[in-house]
Amino acid sequence: MDLLSRGLIRSEIVEDPRLAGSAAGLQFANPMGLAAGFDKNAVAVSQWHRVGFGHAELGTVTRHAQPGNPRPRLFRLPADRAILNRMGFNNDGADAMATHLEEKRAAIPIGINLGKSKITELADAASDYAYSFRRLQSFGDYFVVNVSSPNTPGLRGLQEKGPLGEIFAAINEIDSTRPLFVKTAPDLTFAALDDVIEVALEHGLKGMILTNTTLSREGLATKIDEAGGVSGRPVFELSNQHLAYAFRSVPADFALIGVGGIFDGEDVYRKIRLGANLTQVYTGWVYGGPGMVPRSLRQLLALMERDGVTSLAEIRGVDA
Ligand SMILES: Cc1cc2nc3c(=O)[nH]c(=O)nc-3n(C[C@H](O)[C@H](O)[C@H](O)COP(=O)(O)O)c2cc1C
């Protein structure tokens, strides 16, 4: 966290009204956010704007503190500009996150990504998500039902209509005014993605995050025989296909957050043109270092200038 706590020198932060936008009723200074999984316990919540992010998603947090899977559980695949991970939602639990958030304030919109504790039976998933939501509801600008990690046994089964609807209903019963999103796996079929979209709209969700990591090993240059989800460049096209598909299926005011394989401003531009209001990055930030976001935002502005684009809303979805 050393580089992070020192931050970038102020002149490196890119602030430009052409990068601003809104999604789900929230205002964002720029379209690049930190993806879930990096700040699982909200330890750096007050710092993320310093490296240029326009929003940050905390978690995944679960009702119960849990250690995650045994190590090794994270593998860098540099030849593929990828990471393979099976962290398994290691986190200190919703109560501990609430304690951190009582003490710290963020300068940018904050999302809180909720997952199911490993010890909770799948049949009781809704009450597990509801507990974390109730505990954290006053600290997040938006919330995410994460049913797309490949590293909690059975979790992805919660993407099916019945269980998903139960989770959304349990959260809405507590408070239906906080923007609620769902995060999906890139390994869903389009028919299954249709089902998620249908249930999301039925329950008044405000958006979706596409996508999490993939179980596919297709096209990897690295020979590796390890369980887990692959992120980074190998998931770029797949997550883009899901994003564009969702864009064609949802109303214009439904927010789409595009995540998967972003390494530079051109990648952000692509996701916005495929339908994203906002984007997020994890793997590209790990490889690119703390200058990655300002660098990408400058590239994004150059592309906008090249194409005569004056706001991101103008080009949202034009290539979907
Ligand atoms: C080490 C690691 C841990 C992750 N943990 C989570 C998590 O806890 N919750 C979640 O929703 N996504 C998690 N993700 C997925 C990312 O948020 C993101 O959806 C995915 O990595 C694709 O984006 P990227 O290609 O920019 O990394 C994790 C990814 C990595 C690499």
Residue the block writes with tokens 């030849």: 79
Summarize the confidence of residues 105-132 as an average pLDDT: 97
Nearest CA to ligand 1 atom 11: 36
- Residues 157 and 183: beta-carbon distance below 8 Å: no
Nearest CA to ligand 1 atom 13: 37
Distance 280 CA to ligand 1 centre (A): 10
pLDDT > 90 in the chain, percent: 95
Q: Which residues are within 8 A (CB) of 84 and not within 5 positions of it... i.e. 6 or more apart?
A: 74, 75, 77, 224, 226, 228, 229, 230, 231
Phi and psi, residue 77, nearest 5°: -120, 75
163-210 pLDDT, tens per residue? 999 999 999 999 999 999 999 999 999 999 999 999 999 999 999 999
How much is the pTM? 0.97
Residue the block writes with tokens 């330890």: 43
Among 10-19, 174-183, 291-300, the minimum mean pLDDT is found in 10-19
Distance 76 CA to ligand 1 centre (A): 13
Distance 230 CA to ligand 1 centre (A): 9
pLDDT reported for residue 27: 98
- For the chain, the straight-line distance linking the first and the last C-alpha, in angstroms and rounded, comes to 38
Distance 120 CA to ligand 1 centre (A): 22
Summarize the confidence of residues 130-151 as an average pLDDT: 97
Ligand 1 binding pocket includes 296 (Cβ within 6 Å): no
Banded pLDDT at 4 (limits 50, 70, 90): low
Summarize the confidence of residues 120-133 as an average pLDDT: 97
Q: Which CATH class for the 2-315 domain?
A: alpha beta
* H/E stretch holding 85: strand 82-85
Ligand 1 binding pocket includes 259 (Cβ within 6 Å): yes
Long-range own/partner contacts, residues 190-199 (CB < 8 A, 24 or more apart): 190/245, 192/159, 192/160, 193/242, 193/245, 193/246, 193/249, 194/249, 195/159, 195/160, 195/161, 196/159, 196/164, 197/246, 197/249, 197/250, 198/161, 199/161, 199/164, 199/165, 199/168
pLDDT reported for residue 38: 98
Choose the catalytic residue: 117, 132, 148, 149.
149
Residue 134 reports pLDDT greater than 80: yes
Ligand 1 binding pocket includes 74 (Cβ within 6 Å): yes
Ligand 1 site-directed mutation target among 231, 233, 236, 243, most atoms within 8 Å of CB: 231
Phi and psi, residue 195, nearest 5°: -60, -45
Distance 308 CA to ligand 1 centre (A): 33
Residue 149 annotated among the catalytic residues of the structure: yes
Nearest CA to ligand 1 atom 19: 212
pLDDT reported for residue 10: 60
46-87 pLDDT, tens per residue? 999 999 999 999 999 999 999 999 999 999 999 999 999 999
Average pLDDT, the chain: 96
pLDDT reported for residue 11: 61
Q: Which residues are within 8 A (CB) of 305 and not within 5 positions of it... i.e. 6 or more apart?
A: none
Q: Where are the domains of the chain?
A: 2-315
- Residues 54 and 64: beta-carbon distance below 8 Å: no
198-249 pLDDT, tens per residue? 999 999 999 999 999 999 999 999 999 999 999 999 999 999 999 999 999 9
